[in-house]
Amino acid sequence: MSAPAQAAPAPAGFSSALSASLRAEVDQVAALAARHATDHDDRAEFPLAVLDALRPRLLGLLVPTRYGGPGGSVDDLVDVTIELGRADMSTAMVFAMHCQQVAAIAGHAGPRLAAELLPEIAAGRMYLASVTTEAGKGGHLMSARAELGARDGLLEIDRFAPVVTGGLHADGYLITMRSPQARSDGEISLVFARRDQVEVAQRGTWNPLGMRASHSIALQLTGRVPEDQVIGEHGAFRRIAMNTFGPLAHLGWSAAWLGTASGALARVVSVLRGPERSRSDFSSELLLTRLSTARQRLDTVHAMVRYTAGAVRRAVEEDADLSHPRHQLLVNALKLTASEQCHRAIDDLVTALGMRHGYLKDSPTGLERALRDLRSAALNYSNDRLHLADGRLTLLDQEVRYA
Amino acid sequence: MDARFVETLTPFLPFLHGETITEDTPLRTYGLDSMQAIELMFALEDSLGVSLPDEALVEETFATAGNLWAATRAAQGADAVTAGTESV
């Protein structure tokens, strides 16, 4: 009996049209990430073997087909990131943030730079790190202190960044800096630097509470790059941030957090239903209510992730303006909700399972690591700062319409 | 651009340093941040009696003085124009 020539149905967890072979690759990488997760967490080491496994096809997920990529969508990014997050949040964050950089290049780089970089990314030779944090600006994305120098057709980079995820292992960087001769801190350029164009020096050590394998160290970058390595044009970062960087960051992070919490809940249910199930009191209303609440939180985040991904995809397809307050509010609300609810869900589960399976490092539930990892979510672009931005945006949307 | 519009806009551009505002003046470059954009919107309501519609409150509107003036003029509508607003 021959199978009809049609796409295989998407397995549970995948909503998009990701090809069957890519899905199989995601499963392999997730399994590898799961195997290495405890070691990398213990040693606070970047998951180099997992990055190598991502290289052949997945690092190029968002590269358009005309540049040799699979032309993956925002929905594909969400699908893959959730699956990686089930295994290891650091891996999922590294992947999602790389894809955010790729989207910025695909959407905003000039034709020469796009033609140079995108095929390399599709071929898995270019893992990109994001350099947007800066000391003294309180995590404010739309502000930059260090200024690009401009001399003899070259741009001079001298930039300290306190948090660069995977920065020591990147093949290239997208760096925000004050535009040359900028009048204000709000005039920001996004510039690409290849690893061999800059001197990369680690500053300090990396020994955090969670997200330990993301190896988000402080870096000093110095070097010179050709003028045409500016993404878009000088001062274009604000537009890139509103239309690409912000939406994809919040979608990617939220997917990573949702994946982390989903993986933890799955392992909890597995333990509860496993050989030790006689120890659990399934008539306990407290246990049932806590399981229900955790699941409710994750379904809420999942619905928001999917809805926001759809809104962003439609906006991109229709060339709509994502800078409108109602779009920004949706994307920000997703980040706020996902960061709070995924962490709360795991906290509920720790309470539900108690000292042994809720709190011990070596419990097969992995709740201990998930809780530490997810504690970073509200800090990774501070929710406090995001609420201030949303307060202003709320004042601008007098009619209260929704994206 | 209307003189009163320019007068209203000027205090929101701290890096203008006495330069003349033209239609091409990039507002973000001259220091208009997102908090000040809201204050500017309120100031335009007070001085010109014009309320920008929600649809106009996109990044592009606040990109240049000319864009903001165009949105302001569109919001003013025919009534405000016949009421004697002068263009410069």
User: What's the CATH code of the domain at A76?
Assistant: 1.10.540.10
Share of chain A above pLDDT 70, in %: 96
Can you give the residue range of the structural domain that contains B38?
3-82
Q: Quote the number of domains for chain B.
A: 1
Residue A332 and residue A276 share a domain: yes
For A278-330, what is each residue's pLDDT tens digit? 778 888 999 999 999 999 999 999 999 999 999 999 988 888 889 999 999 99
Regarding whether A242 and A372 lie in a shared domain, the answer is yes
Instruction: Inform me whether the pLDDT recorded for A85 exceeds 60.
Output: yes
If asked whether residues A104 and A193 sit together in one domain, one would say no
- What tokens does B57 get? 């409150």
Residue B62 lies in a domain: yes
Integer angstrom CA distances of residue A61 from A22, A39, A56, A90, A103 = 9, 27, 10, 18, 10
A102 and A136, same structural domain? no
pLDDT at A5: 45
Cα A209 from Cα A90, distance rounded (Å): 12
Residue in chain A closest to B32 (alpha carbons) equals A186
For the stretch A110-168, pLDDT in tens is: 999 999 999 999 999 999 999 999 987 767 788 888 999 999 999 999 999 999 999 99
Q: What per-residue confidence (pLDDT) applies to B86?
A: 46
**In this structure, is residue B88 part of a structural domain?**
no
Q: Which of A231, A265, A295 is the last residue of a domain?
A: A231
Q: Indicate if A215 and A154 belong to the same structural domain.
A: yes
Q: Which domain holds residue A178?
A: 128-231
Q: Please count the other Cβ atoms lying within 10 Å of the Cβ belonging to residue A195.
A: 15
Tell me whether residue A2 is in a domain: no
- Percent of chain A at pLDDT > 90 equals 85
For residue A1, pLDDT beyond 80: no
Nearest-neighbour CA in chain A from B53: distance (Å): 9
Q: A226 pLDDT band (50/70/90 cuts)? A: very high
Whether the CB-CB separation of A313 and A75 falls below 8 Å is answered with yes
The residue of chain A nearest to residue B60, with distances taken between CA atoms, is: A323
**Is the model's pLDDT at A2 over the cut of 70?**
no
Cβ–Cβ below 8 Å for B57 and A396: yes
pLDDT at A12 over 70: no
B87 falls within a domain? no
Do A179 and A290 lie in one domain? The reply is no
* Three-class SS state of B57: coil
Identify the weakest region by mean pLDDT among A251-255, A265-269, A305-309, B44-48.
Answer: B44-48
Q: Is some CB atom of chain B closer than 8 A to the CB atom of A239?
A: yes
Note whether A108 and A169 are same-domain residues. no
> What's the pLDDT tens digit per position in B18-50?
899 999 999 998 999 888 889 999 999 999 999
Q: How much is the average pLDDT of A65-88? A: 96
- With left for phi above 0 and alpha for psi between -120 and 50, is residue A17 left, alpha or beta? alpha
- Nearest Cα neighbor of A222 from A189, A185, A197 is A197
Rounded-to-integer distance, Cα A373 and Cα A395, Å: 34
pLDDT tens-digit map of A13-51:
676 677 888 999 999 999 999 999 999 999 999 999 999
CB contact under 8 A, A396 and B29: no
Residue A183 and residue B31: Cβ atoms within 8 Å?
yes
With respect to residue B28, please indicate whether it lies within any of the assigned structural domains.
yes
A343 and A362, same domain (yes or no): yes
Task: Decide if pLDDT at B10 tops 70.
Answer: yes
Structural domains counted in chain A = 3
CB within 8 Å: B34 and A238: no
Is residue A193 a part of any domain in this protein? yes
Residue A169 sits in the same domain as residue A220: yes
Please tell me the distance from the alpha carbon of residue B10 to that of residue A381, in angstroms, as a whole number.
32
ipTM at complex level: 0.81
Q: Among the three residues A92, A122, A152, which one is the final residue of a domain in this structure? A: A122
A225/A338 same-domain check = no
Quote the minimal CA–CA distance from B35 to chain A in Å. Answer: 7
- Residue A392 domain-assigned? yes
Are residues A227 and A320 both part of a single domain? no
CATH number of residue A288's parent domain? 1.20.140.10
Angle between helices B65-82 and B34-48 in degrees, nearest 10 = 20
Nearest to B28 among A238, A397, A401 (CB): A238
CA R_g for chain B: 12
Is A263 domain-assigned? yes
Q: Is B19 on the interface with A (CB under 8 A)?
A: no
Q: Give a yes or no: residue A215 inside a domain.
A: yes
Residue A350 has pLDDT above 60, yes or no: yes
Per residue in A366-378, pLDDT (tens digit) is 999 999 999 999 9
A91 and A162 belong to one structural domain: no
Tell me the one-letter amino acid at A87: A
What's phi and psi for A45, nearest 5 deg? Answer: -110, 145
**Strand, coil or helix: B26:** strand
- The chain B residue lying nearest A240, using CA atoms, is B59
User: Which residues have a Cβ under 8 Å from the Cβ of A264 and sit 6 or more positions away?
Assistant: A346, A349, A365, A366, A367, A370
Report yes or no on A209 lying in a domain: yes
SS3 of residue B9 by DSSP: helix
How far A396 CA sits from the closest chain B CA (Å)? Answer: 7
pLDDT band at B82; cut points 50, 70, 90: very low
Q: Residue A401: list chain B partners with CB under 8 A.
A: 54
Q: Which of A122, A142, A177 is the last residue of a domain?
A: A122
Rounded Cα gap, residues A211 and A372, in angstroms: 7
Residue B49: CATH number of its domain: 1.10.1200.10
A264-285: average pLDDT: 90
Question: Contact at 8 Å (CB) between B76 and B86?
Answer: no
3-class secondary-structure state, position B53:
coil
Residue with tokens 């190029």: A60
- Is the model's pLDDT at B88 over the cut of 50? no
Q: What is the model's pLDDT at position A16? A: 67
